[in-house]
Amino acid sequence: MGPLSGVRVVEFAGLGPGPFCGMLLADLGADVVRIDRRGGGGGLGATSLLDRGKRSIALDLKDPADVEVVRALVRRADVLLEGFRPGVMERLGLGPDELLGENPALVYGRMTGWGQTGPLAPTAGHDIGYIALTGALGASGRPDERPAPPINLLGDFGGGGVFLALGAVAALLHARATGEGQVVDAAIVDGTAVLTTMIHGMLSTGGWQDERGVNLLDTGAPFYDVYRCADGQFLAVGALEPQFYAALLQGLGVAGDETFPDRYQPEQWPALRERFTELFAGRTRDEWWQVFAGTDACVAPVWSLVEATQDEHNREREVFVEVDGTVQPAVAPRFSVTPGAVGSVPRAGQHSDEIRAELGL
């Protein structure tokens, strides 16, 4: 049933990080009831995998009777998740003051891009803007090229949904120990900034330059980069430590070559990158993977999303599973005693009657 079995969550349907947080909780066993708009779809639509494992009730939040249904749901809930702009829930009469007054142990989770306060709080935004403001986007990419957004994984899901889930569980532990609920203000700018903590530490000690593509982990180092192979596909190389770098040279067939550029001299990095580029271009991606698979060279093929589902390691570990005919990522992390499970995606309003019955309505 998952480690969160017995936890009741009320989630207001939305896009991206809020539903992702609800999915994480549902994957781990929480009973997540999604409030969909009556007469409309939920979240990203009926096929959104972010809604897997949830139940759905369709309501009209402009209807006082339906607002009372929400209140009834929240009175018996442990966690509430909402992703509206600041002030919207208050105007609906569903703000934290009202709901915590009725359920003092409630964890009131708020998912926004800019946060509940600050000059940008009332304005619209998307992942690309949030990671831009935190410096994370500016640090991503190669020198003299435009910054490369990593889809919307870094801000929406990493800095947003995951941090809201962490905050909700932490606040739930506090509430169960003390009976005291609270508001969790999960802003994507906050979470994304936390993800850059190590880089800020390196900046402060001179171990990182405030420039894109010239550092150890941003493709500045030729032994931590992506290379094109003979078939136009790519390999990822991350041979940072000396022993892993030695395994890389062994696989490339240049171990002991005294003419090979020295990795410890940054002025030789351009020449080293040129040699690597030439060598990797000599074979296909799959041929190189046959050379490096199972070694400590820290080389991996750059799979497409579909190819990743077919990878031998991913298949053996069941990193991806098929549920209701759709291949999708499995539950993470894994638990030895209370494993989570991937549930089905509900239709908007699918469980309305069932949930109303549970509430005695």
Residues known to be catalytic: 126, 156
Q: At what angle do helices 188-195 and 162-178 cross, to 10 degrees?
A: 100
Residue type, 273: R
Alpha carbons 104 and 175: distance in angstroms, whole number: 9
Q: Which residues on adjacent β-strands are paired with residue 225?
A: 237
The tokens of 119 are what? 């000059």
Q: 3-class DSSP state for residue 31? A: strand
The tokens of 199 are what? 């880089």
Q: 3-class DSSP state for residue 329? A: strand
Give the DSSP per-residue string, 124-192: ---HHHHHHHTTTTTTSS-TTS-----TTIIIIIIIIIHHHHHHHHHHHHHHHHHS--EEEEEEHHHHH
Alpha carbons 358 and 201: distance in angstroms, whole number: 51
Q: 3-class DSSP state for residue 305? A: helix
Alpha carbons 35 and 14: distance in angstroms, whole number: 9
